[in-house]
């Protein structure tokens, strides 16, 4: 290497280190806060998965650090999640924990292959009603899956959700009053504490209060409830996985592995997209995120953990607390390891009912209530896709739900396109966004041709995010004959992005169908009726009433109206 090359390499390494540690205080606060939030959730999701609570902690520690270092999102927090717990509880009940470890290694391998093949961006083309459907389905399964612990019932885990729910209903006469009281105490404490103090997570406070109450009830009145049991006061250690190279076993577990890989990829990438919208850090790299999550899932089984994904709630906590770089994710894992070393003996007294209360609140907050209202008031066809996805999620499994939802959305898309056969469409893409006409540095005009559907929504968002920073951005929508819910959400996302950059969004030439959709959703009122015009000419004259001489030639305006 030449002297100049060595100098550039040294500068690059120095810049990377400076970039990693320039926000170390914010990353420290974000990582520690995320660790405190992750502690009760790691225990709860492990129990919900049908495995020992320590597996949840080991997963959060190992997977959290590995994914933070190698993943594609600088602020993503990885660990056990509710969606993964829904899949794992059935796999654990059917195959046992050792085979789950093997399936986890296989799932990680599949995720890495998807990342290397650069398929990470495909998740952005999943229609909004499909993601809302399976998210709501997951929330229902988590809530109902905690009824056993809520009522203090000692019942075996079932492979399917409906079987488990029926088993709970038929054994309700064996409920434990103390368990119900502790669960309600946890829920009440969590809800009230969040109104009093935002710095300490209400879930952690509720867990502590319920544990103290359980200890007092046992010592004073000899009343007992199921607890999580002993957690080893040690760091996760490397272990051997029996028969993990057995080809027959691999063939047996290929379907569970694909399910884990698909769910882990979808949830992690969706969480990364949410993190992009909250953070001022660099945008995530979808392919690298898949590789990072795959490495985490390959490694964590050798430390006794379970498959993990990016966690939206913990990632949001990290960002809000100041985390901006990968260091925050590493600190989150290290902090959890220290907590295990110091406080593990106390965790043996934590009642399962308290964890049930935490998960029930979490599941209710997971529900896409906004999506339900939005879909009801916009297009009934999209609402039907969401309901279908939700039903398949609850009655069968998540992967099948995504497959069915995509097929239904595809059929709906084809139907809509066939109804638009008289509309002249571009040959090479769903819509064309033209080069902005330059009216100084204050105004940019973009033309959209064709329907704004889920396939075009991501390109729409990506293109306008790279637009020059101006004060007024006009979207000419005369040639947008229709718009679906995903296109609507994309337009709303662009509007909020422009608001953050002090740029006014202006719409011109709205067709009646599109205008009615925007009106029903409430987005038109948010943008402002005063910012919607029948023509681009009218919009320009409204923006620059005192600068008529700076307008383009009237003949040119006639062509862009």
Q: Is pLDDT above 90 for 278?
A: no
Residue 214, pLDDT > 90, answer yes
Gap between the Cα atoms of 87 and 81, Å rounded? 10
Q: What is the pLDDT of residue 9?
A: 45
Average pLDDT over residues 106-115: 95
Q: Look at residue 52 and give its three-state secondary structure.
A: coil
Phi and psi torsions of 156, nearest 5°: -70, 155
Q: What is the DSSP letter of 73?
A: -
pLDDT of res. 440: 47
DSSP state of 446: E
> Taking a C-beta distance cutoff of 8 angstroms, is the pair 340, 235 a contact?
yes
pLDDT recorded at residue 210: 93
| Per-residue pLDDT, 438 | 46
What average pLDDT does the segment 262-279 reach?
Answer: 83
CA dihedral 405, 408, 409, 410 (to 10 degrees): 120
| Rounded Cα distance, 466 and 123, in Å | 21
Give dist(CA 231, CA 136) in Å, integer.
Answer: 32
Report the pLDDT value the prediction gives residue 414, as an integer from 0 to 100: 67
| Whole-number pLDDT of residue 457 | 61
End-to-end CA distance of the chain: 58
Closest CA to 107 of 403, 404, 306: 306
- pLDDT at residue 218 is higher than 60: yes
What's the pLDDT at 431? 26
Query: What SS3 class is residue 475?
Result: strand
φ, ψ (nearest 5 deg) of residue 364: -65, -40
pLDDT at position 466: 62
pLDDT for res 184: 95
Report the C-alpha gap between 243 and 249 in whole angstroms: 8
Least confidently predicted of 5-14, 249-258, 470-479: 5-14
pLDDT band of 13, cuts 50, 70, 90: low
Greater model confidence, 486 or 279: 486
**Residue whose token pair is 């063939």:** 251
- Average pLDDT (40-64) is 91
For domain 421-543, which architecture applies?
A: 2-Layer Sandwich (3.30)
Q: What is the pLDDT of residues 20-32, one digit of tens each?
A: 556 678 888 888 8
- Over residues 374-427, the pLDDT tens digits come to 877 877 888 888 899 899 988 887 778 878 888 888 888 766 664 432 232 232
Tokens 């080893």 locate to 232
Residue 436 pLDDT: 41
Q: Quick check: 465 pLDDT over 90?
A: no
Residue 15's pLDDT band, with cuts at 50, 70 and 90, is low
Cross-strand pairs, 224: none
Q: Quick one: DSSP state of residue 120?
A: G
- For CATH 3.30.750.24, list the domain ranges present in the chain: 421-543
CA 435-441-445 angle, to 5 degrees, is: 35
Q: pTM for the complete prediction?
A: 0.70
- Residues 355-386 as b or e (16 or more Cβ within 10 Å = b): bbbbbbbbbeebbbeebbebbeebbebbbebb
Please state the separation of Cα 167 from the chain's center in Å. Answer: 31
Which of 291-305, 486-500, 521-535 holds the top average pLDDT? 291-305
Q: How far is CA 103 from CA 251, 257, 263, 265, 338, in A?
A: 10, 5, 13, 15, 29
User: Which two tokens mark 414?
Assistant: 């084809």
Task: Confirm if 495 and 465 have CB atoms less than 8 A apart.
Answer: no
């Amino acid at each position: 290497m030449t002297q100049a090359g060595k100098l550039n390499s040294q500068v690059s390494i120095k810049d990377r280190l400076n970039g990693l540690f320039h926000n170390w205080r914010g990353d420290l606060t974000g990582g520690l806060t995320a660790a405190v939030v992750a502690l009760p959730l790691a225990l709860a999701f492990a129990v919900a998965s049908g495995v020992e609570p320590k597996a949840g902690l080991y997963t959060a520690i190992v997977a959290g650090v590995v994914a933070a270092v190698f993943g594609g999102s600088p602020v993503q927090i990885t660990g056990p999640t509710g969606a993964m717990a829904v899949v794992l509880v059935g796999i654990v009940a059917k195959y046992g924990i050792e085979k789950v470890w093997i399936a986890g290694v296989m799932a990680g391998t599949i995720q890495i292959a998807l990342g290397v093949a650069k398929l990470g961006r495909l998740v952005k083309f999943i229609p909004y009603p499909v993601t809302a459907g399976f998210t709501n389905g997951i929330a229902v399964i988590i809530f109902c899956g905690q009824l056993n612990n809520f009522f203090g019932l000692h019942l075996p885990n079932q492979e399917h959700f409906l079987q488990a729910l029926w088993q709970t209903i038929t054994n309700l006469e064996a409920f434990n009053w103390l368990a119900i009281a502790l669960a309600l105490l946890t829920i009440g404490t969590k809800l009230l504490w969040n109104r009093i103090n935002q710095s300490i997570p209400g879930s952690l406070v509720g867990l502590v209060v319920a544990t103290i109450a359980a200890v007092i009830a046992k010592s004073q009145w000899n009343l007992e409830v199921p607890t999580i049991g002993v957690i080893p006061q040690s760091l996760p250690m490397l272990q051997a996985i029996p028969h993990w190279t057995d080809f027959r076993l691999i063939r047996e577990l290929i379907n569970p592995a694909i399910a884990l890989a698909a769910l882990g990829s979808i949830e992690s990438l969706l969480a990364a997209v949410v993190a992009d919208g909250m953070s001022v850090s660099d945008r995530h790299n979808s392919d690298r995120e898949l590789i990072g999550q795959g490495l985490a899932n390959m490694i964590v089984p050798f430390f006794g953990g379970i498959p993990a994904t990016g966690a939206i709630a913990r990632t949001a906590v990290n960002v809000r607390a100041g985390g901006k770089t990968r260091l925050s994710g590493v600190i989150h894992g290290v902090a959890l390891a220290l907590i295990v070393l110091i406080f593990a003996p106390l965790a043996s007294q934590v009642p399962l009912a308290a964890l049930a209360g935490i998960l029930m609140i979490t599941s209710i907050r997971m529900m896409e209530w906004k999506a339900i209202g939005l879909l009801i008031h916009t297009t009934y066809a999209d609402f039907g896709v969401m309901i279908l996805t939700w039903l398949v999620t609850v009655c069968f499994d998540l992967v099948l739900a995504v497959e069915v939802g995509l097929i239904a959305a595809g059929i709906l898309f084809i139907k809509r396109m066939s109804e638009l056969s008289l509309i002249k469409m571009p040959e090479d893409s769903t819509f064309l966004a033209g080069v902005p006409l330059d009216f100084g540095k204050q105004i940019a005009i973009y033309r959209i041709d064709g329907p704004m559907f889920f396939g075009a929504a991501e390109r729409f968002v990506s293109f306008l995010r790279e637009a020059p920073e101006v004060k007024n951005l006009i979207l000419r929508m005369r040639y947008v004959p229709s718009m679906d819910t995903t296109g609507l959400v994309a337009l709303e996302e662009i509007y909020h992005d422009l608001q953050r950059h002090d740029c006014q969004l202006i719409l011109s030439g709205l067709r009646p169908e599109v205008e009615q959709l925007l009106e029903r959703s409430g987005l038109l009122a948010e943008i402002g009726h005063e910012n919607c015009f029948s023509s681009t000419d009218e919009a320009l004259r409204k923006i620059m009433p005192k600068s008529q001489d700076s307008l383009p030639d009237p003949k040119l305006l006639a062509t862009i109206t």
